[in-house]
Chain A
């Protein structure tokens, strides 16, 4: 049992933390948010230079050969700084799917370009009726001569507005909610038959609603056998989001404690009121429980046992959802009016935390998934 980071991991953490400390202050972030698509091309290049965009890919593909632990380290730092760039969409989702489902040739072509910061991907998967059910896919893929074409509606596509390449899930066979028969396809975002409606989101990330009408598509892996890859990549992404949430919660807690020490009312710091001390302690406890579960999800995210992996990830997502809601609400309350303002970072952390709960299944969804799978501890000793 060892919770310590290796020397290499510590180096990674220090360099990411230094980068965001230097380049991702709250005011700088405001400028990045105003750029096209709501993120900074310059920072993207910085991530490429540091090797972050190739972090999970093999060295042959210009990567770093990192696992879930390395991703956790980066995401926690990103969470503290409220990073806006399409890291999750491109590296974890898009790159992850190419890694999990793509042919050797596709991997060799795409992954180095991701690592080099030359391409932005988005995963067009969720459909309106599906809510959080990963297997609910109505979008259809059909073969027209030798070519594949896709028709359907995809929604809340993270960074779907600025991606140049879409990884699209589409049904090749089976019923609308069957896990079997779902395929993964690459679709150039500017292809004919693709219509995108982009928008900023509550947390200042960007998204898009995407309509596909006979859009030309290239299969990623074997058509119709994409679900296992989707489930695996989404589970890993959830583990990464848990780490991001831990970073955001840690920052929010630190800001709150700081505020309790400096804000004076009734002639003394409000942190003198024991009732507020206890509130910050409860926040801290929620944060630490979340951190523990984010680590657990991280360790399990690389597991090949899909069932065990899914249960661990669901458990973590529930804990994160609850802790994030509690820490977020308490932070705003303890800040009073100032916490309610757009000019102050706390509110933005609160909003990002709220939205992490809505990504790939909220706490209720994962609680149901975990309960249906029999929970975490089996009745047998």
Chain B
């Protein structure tokens, strides 16, 4: 057992750090640090800088722009990127639809979609959940009927993140209504400009607009946009969901947030004493730090095991990472809100930039409560924490 990285790994880490902190605009990274919303352009700018370096999609096959990195390198890249507050490459592109197309798509689809996907020339969104199908995804009812060389799609998706920016949506659709529910599903790529698609915004409790309902009314989709085989979509969806092993813990993000929380707590006073000197606050902070360290070690163990893992097969370890990672992220938003104290209360979030009104209370306070509210989502989406527990139970208890 050796917890140290090798010389080469350390050199690689430094290279990542240098790149992220010098090549990604500091103003953008500062926005991420403060929890501000990024515009579409800001995501695109970042991803293109990464892609120009070959670092937007390192986990993809080398032929399609991937890097032949060891799991440790991939880990270091992610950790450094998150710690530097770099806006992450769009997950829908790089972690979801890209790997599915690379693995199961036709050559023509790979050529057509993958380069644009990596460069964020196409913005993808994920059309899985429906009003009646959340945790029980396989019960989905959006249909695609084959007519000649087209599919006709009807139905509704919901909670579709950033569909308002999207050029394309990857949809799970029911192609065989008579088959057992998992066996009648296909994976279809749909151009968002196709007639018959309507996007309706959903406002979340923090006041933001990041999710939408997407309606399909007789939407014609060329049959060539089917990925892989008809009625095999469930397998591809499982591959997609099991693909992300370690990124979901977001350990680097939490490290950066704790660091910032400490800086803020050194500035914020109660009476005349900075809160960082308040014993109770410090102990609460230390407790999260312990949880995070444990998670980081667990993640490193998973990384070390990665060499033996079967690609695309769900691993109960990733469920542990998801549960603990989301709980820790939520806890940090809670502490940040507590730090803001009475000034967590005003709602003065500045949606239209360029307002020059001074903040009400400490400058971090406006985002503190909205972020706490918004982060309730991380234990709901991507397979809720209850569903993750079911996965672990099945794996370790055999139920």
Chain A residues engaging chain B, CB cutoff 8 angstroms: 126, 128-133, 136, 155-156, 177, 197, 199-203, 207, 209, 264-267, 273, 275-276, 329, 332-333, 336-337, 339-343, 347-348, 350-351, 354-355, 358-359, 362, 364, 367-368
Contact B376 A132 (CB under 8 A): no
Bound-state CA distance A354–B207 (Å) is 16
Instruction: Give me the 8 closest cross-chain CB pairs, A-B, nearest first.
Output: A347-B205, A265-B136, A342-B203, A131-B270, A266-B136, A332-B376, A156-B342, A201-B345
- With A136-B271, A266-B135, A362-B341 already in contact, the answer to whether A200 and B347 are too (CB < 8 A) is yes
Bound-state CA distance A264–B384 (Å) is 15
Contact A129 B344 (CB under 8 A): no
* Min CB–CB distance A271 → chain B (angstroms): 13
> Residue among A130, A266, A332, A336 with the most chain B CB within 10 A?
A336
Contact A362 B129 (CB under 8 A): no
> Residue among B158, B341, B384 with the most chain A CB within 10 A?
B341
> Residue among A340, A341, A355, A358 with the most chain B CB within 10 A?
A340
Bound-state CA distance A101–B232 (Å) is 76
Contact A347 B159 (CB under 8 A): no
- With A129-B271, A156-B345, A342-B207 already in contact, the answer to whether A362 and B360 are too (CB < 8 A) is no
- Determine the chain B residues whose CB is within 8 A of the CB of A156 once the complex forms: 342-343, 345-346, 361
Contact A209 B360 (CB under 8 A): yes
* Min CB–CB distance A176 → chain B (angstroms): 9
- Determine the chain B residues whose CB is within 8 A of the CB of A129 once the complex forms: 269, 271-272
* Mask: chain B, 317-359; 1 = CB below 8 Å from A; 0 = not: 0000000000000000000011001111111100000000000
Q: Is B53 an interface residue (CB 8 A)?
A: no
Contact B129 A329 (CB under 8 A): no
- Determine the chain A residues whose CB is within 8 A of the CB of B345 once the complex forms: 156, 201-203, 207, 355, 358-359
Bound-state CA distance A197–B360 (Å) is 9
Q: Is B116 an interface residue (CB 8 A)?
A: no
Q: Is B37 an interface residue (CB 8 A)?
A: no
Contact A337 B129 (CB under 8 A): yes
* Min CB–CB distance A327 → chain B (angstroms): 13
Can you list 8 residue pairs at the A/B interface with Cβ under 8 Å?
A129-B269, A199-B360, A202-B369, A337-B129, A348-B205, A350-B373, A354-B369, A358-B341
Contact A133 B270 (CB under 8 A): yes
* Min CB–CB distance B255 → chain A (angstroms): 23
Q: Is B291 an interface residue (CB 8 A)?
A: no
Contact B205 A342 (CB under 8 A): yes
- Determine the chain B residues whose CB is within 8 A of the CB of A340 once the complex forms: 204-205, 211, 376-377, 380
Query: Contact check: which of B133, B269, B271, B344 meets A358 at CB < 8 Å?
Result: B344
- With A197-B360, A202-B347 already in contact, the answer to whether A337 and B280 are too (CB < 8 A) is no
- With A133-B271, A355-B344, A362-B338 already in contact, the answer to whether A339 and B376 are too (CB < 8 A) is yes
- Smallest CB-CB separation from A209: which chain B residue? B360
- Smallest CB-CB separation from B281: which chain A residue? A364
* Min CB–CB distance B324 → chain A (angstroms): 16
Contact B271 A337 (CB under 8 A): no
Contact A368 B341 (CB under 8 A): no
- Determine the chain B residues whose CB is within 8 A of the CB of A354 once the complex forms: 337, 369, 372-373
- Determine the chain A residues whose CB is within 8 A of the CB of B156 once the complex forms: none
- Smallest CB-CB separation from A328: which chain B residue? B376
- With A265-B134, A275-B386, A337-B129 already in contact, the answer to whether A155 and B338 are too (CB < 8 A) is no
Give the secondary structure class of A's interface: mixed
Give the secondary structure class of B's interface: mixed
Within 8 A of A (CB), among B134-171: 134-136, 139, 158-159
Bound-state CA distance A332–B377 (Å) is 9
- Determine the chain B residues whose CB is within 8 A of the CB of A207 once the complex forms: 345-346
Contact A342 B204 (CB under 8 A): yes
Contact A333 B360 (CB under 8 A): no
Q: Is B379 an interface residue (CB 8 A)?
A: yes
Contact A347 B139 (CB under 8 A): no
> Residue among B280, B344, B379, B384 with the most chain A CB within 10 A?
B344
Contact A333 B380 (CB under 8 A): yes
- Determine the chain A residues whose CB is within 8 A of the CB of B343 once the complex forms: 128, 155-156
- With A201-B346, A333-B376, A364-B280 already in contact, the answer to whether A276 and B386 are too (CB < 8 A) is yes
* Min CB–CB distance A290 → chain B (angstroms): 19
- Smallest CB-CB separation from A129: which chain B residue? B269
Bound-state CA distance A130–B380 (Å) is 37
Bound-state CA distance A202–B345 (Å) is 6
Bound-state CA distance A130–B342 (Å) is 10
- Determine the chain B residues whose CB is within 8 A of the CB of A177 once the complex forms: 271
Contact B205 A199 (CB under 8 A): no
Query: Contact check: which of A265, A333, A342, A343 meets B139 at CB < 8 Å?
Result: A265
* Min CB–CB distance A332 → chain B (angstroms): 5
Bound-state CA distance A209–B338 (Å) is 20
- Determine the chain A residues whose CB is within 8 A of the CB of B135 once the complex forms: 265-266, 336
Contact A132 B347 (CB under 8 A): no
Bound-state CA distance A66–B372 (Å) is 38
* Min CB–CB distance B103 → chain A (angstroms): 28
Contact A333 B379 (CB under 8 A): yes
* Mask: chain B, 361-376; 1 = CB below 8 Å from A; 0 = not: 1000000011011001
- Smallest CB-CB separation from A362: which chain B residue? B338
Contact B361 A155 (CB under 8 A): yes
- Smallest CB-CB separation from A329: which chain B residue? B376
- Determine the chain B residues whose CB is within 8 A of the CB of A209 once the complex forms: 360
Bound-state CA distance A143–B384 (Å) is 62
Q: Is B88 an interface residue (CB 8 A)?
A: no
* Min CB–CB distance B344 → chain A (angstroms): 5
Q: Is B202 an interface residue (CB 8 A)?
A: yes
